[in-house]
Amino acid sequence: MCGIVGYLGKREALPVIIKGLKRLEYRGYDSAGVAMLNGNLEIVKKKGKVSDLEAEIGTKKLDATLGIGHTRWATHGEPNDKNAHPHSSADGKLAIIHNGIIENYSSIKKELELSGHVFKSDTDSEVLIHLIEEIKRQNQCSIDEAVRLALNEVVGAYAIVVLSKDDDRMMIAARKGSPLVIGIGEGEFFVASDATPIIEYTNNVTYLNDREMAVIKDGSLTVKNLENVTKTPFIQKLELDLEDIEKGGYPHFMLKEIFEQPKSVRDAMRGRLVSREHHLFMSGMDQYLNRFINADRLILIGCGTSWHAGLIGEYLFEELSRVPVEVEYASEFRYRNPVVREQDIVIAVSQSGETADTLAAIELAKSKGALIFGVCNVVGSSIARIADAGAYLHAGPEIGVASTKAFTSQVTILAMMAMYLGLKKGTISMSQYQELLLGLDSIPDKVTKILSKADEILTISKSFYQARNFLYLGRGFNFPVALEGALKLKEISYIHAEGYPAAEMKHGPIALIDEDMPVVFIATKDSSYEKVISNIQEVKARKGKVIAIVTEGDTEIKSMADFTFEIPSISDALVPLLAVVPLQLLSYHIAILRGCNVDQPRNLAKSVTVE
């Protein structure tokens, strides 16, 4: 949430910052702004997207080699010009950009108002820069010391960058609970919420840890914690190519990422699944294999799409490795005093590795002695660093706000984990194991086959893009797929949609069905096939419109449904990896037909770094 970018070096800063903001716009797009420092501190900000900011800047002379920029997802204060970042201090000498929430801003604001401070916005971020200013004045200290002291007084999450008019060769950055990466070039430095604005210029980066701050001054980088202890930054090379963050000829990132799934699923398996040897290598699990084998329970935690992947993981682990599994919303987990024991393993599922609710749930589980296993996509992310062990998705950057390829990569990792644990525990036979391995190895080719028929989904979409409600139904492994399909439609087309277990339809939702209600069935030939046919007949009897995802060659459901889309045959446990793809395409095409911005849906941001 919110995109931060800063530059200090020899280049003109504004083009670097604007380009960086465009690459970070998926993190928030309610407003945008820049602050440029070259003798004077010039701030320009505007409600709307980065393109609106560019129009506002127009022909203004903002020549500088030091500057910061921000694209906002609103928390405190509605999206408008005055609440846009950067914010300045009362004397106009300091500027800040901030991602996160200062929870005790109200009490700090009251104290500052008693000292004569007047605020121009409704944001907690402006309170923080005024606090820094006040501490600097009272203590007669340097700006970096004032930042350090101020951050010891605030409660909440933040990633900040601060500029001071008194020093046009210095930039101060700090983080707690929100990501911040520093790029190190030749005589230049970059600060950003993630690596996408940096990769064009350097692949040498360091990630700040919680409660650390960086002082970039006179061509050098100093990292210290909030106790004023100097740290040695760990410099690493980015495993990211510039082409990974470009659209590559596709009209939208979401469509590109849907079509990247044959590659992203294969990359999730690379180095882990060796089909010719009929074997898996899960090094992250091997470190704690006895803990996994003897675990009393697995607890899978996640939010949104990652929670749906966790639900599929529940089916996989219980089916293949016979271990009890609970799937928890990370946002609820820590607030209900959950029972967590040392014999439990918590598997945290997150694309970004920075999801605030998931991080908070991890901290709680870790304090109770549970083993933490992270399943995330971003190397160097907070979850990757906090977890005892884990597995990266290797899906590459996912820019579209609605997750697609990260979901199938998460399910792929969880499937491999469940198969591996089942083999080690002896809960599946070698023949079952090898059959699943071969099935998983075939997924990329089968997804490619599905994508070759994308025009069929466009045809279906044209019949339903004006619908006001959708119902998605599935059984067993396909119930979470129904939830994910409904979520995708809600996220990007703004059509109300609900996912249900198919058998639950008659316990309430059937009251909604009439000739205007499209009902999407995941109706592949599995152990509950006959039951799903009965559910379809119940919908048709009430004049509902049926869209069915079926197994290739199925003629029975085709004779009943209004529309069908065929997917290749695969083991029941692996059907979600195929069945979700046409549902992703359905939501995409419906959203396009409705004129929606699929990459930047309203009110949403990619990485939810506030609770």
Report the chain (611 residues): mean pLDDT per 10 consecutive residues.
90 95 84 92 93 91 93 79 93 94 93 94 94 96 96 93 93 92 95 91 93 93 95 86 80 95 96 84 94 96 95 98 95 86 95 85 91 91 90 91 95 98 95 94 97 97 96 95 97 95 84 89 89 90 93 94 96 97 98 94 65 52
Residue 76's pLDDT is 67
Identity of the residue numbered 597: N
Helix (H) or strand (E) holding 322: none
In 3D space, the residue among 240, 160, 221, 156 whose CA is nearest the CA of residue 192 turns out to be 160
pLDDT at 416: 97
Task: Say what the pLDDT of residue 65 is.
Answer: 94
Residues recognised as catalytic: 2, 606
pLDDT (0 to 100) of residue 2: 82
How many angstroms separate the Cα of 78 from the Cα of each of 74, 90, 120, 123?
6, 21, 13, 9
The pLDDT tens digits of the residues spanning 541-565 come to: 888 899 999 999 999 999 999 999 9
What is the reported pLDDT for 273?
93
pLDDT at site 382: 84
Residues 512 and 470: their CA atoms lie apart, in Å, by 10
pLDDT of residue 117: 95
pLDDT of residue 285: 96
Q: How far is CA 345 from CA 413, 447, 591, in A?
A: 16, 32, 39
Superfamily the domain 453-611 falls into: Glucose-6-phosphate isomerase like protein; domain 1 (3.40.50.10490)
Where b means 16+ CB within 10 Å and e means fewer, 98-134 reads bbbbbeebeebbeebeeeebeeebebbbbbbbbbbbb
HEC-encoded secondary structure of 26-68: HHCCCEEEEEEEECEEEEEEEECCHHHHHHHHCCCCCCCCEEE
> Structure tokens of 549?
């995802």
Query: Cα separation of 102 and 86, whole Å?
Result: 16
Q: What string of H, E and C letters represents the secondary structure of 139-160? A: HCCCHHHHHHHHHCCCCEEEEE
Task: Match 């203004």 to its residue by tokens.
Answer: 60
For residue 567, the model assigns a pLDDT of 97
Query: Could you tell me which CATH number the domain at 247-450 has?
Result: 3.40.50.10490
Query: pTM of this prediction?
Result: 0.84
Do 348 and 377 touch, CB atoms closer than 8 A?
A: no
Distance CA 329, CA 310 (A): 10
For residue 326, give the DSSP letter.
E
Which pLDDT value is given to residue 605?
A: 63
- The DSSP code sequence of 226-245 is TT--EE----EE----GGGG
Ranges for all domains in the chain classified under CATH 3.40.50.10490: 247-450, 453-611
Helix/strand number for the chain, H first, E second: 19, 27
Q: What is the pLDDT of residues 349-383, one digit of tens each?
A: 999 888 788 888 998 999 999 999 999 998 878 88
Q: Tell me the CATH number for domain 3-244.
A: 3.60.20.10
Within the chain, which residue ranges are assigned CATH 3.60.20.10?
Answer: 3-244
Choose among 149, 120, 126, 127: nearest CA to 137. Answer: 149
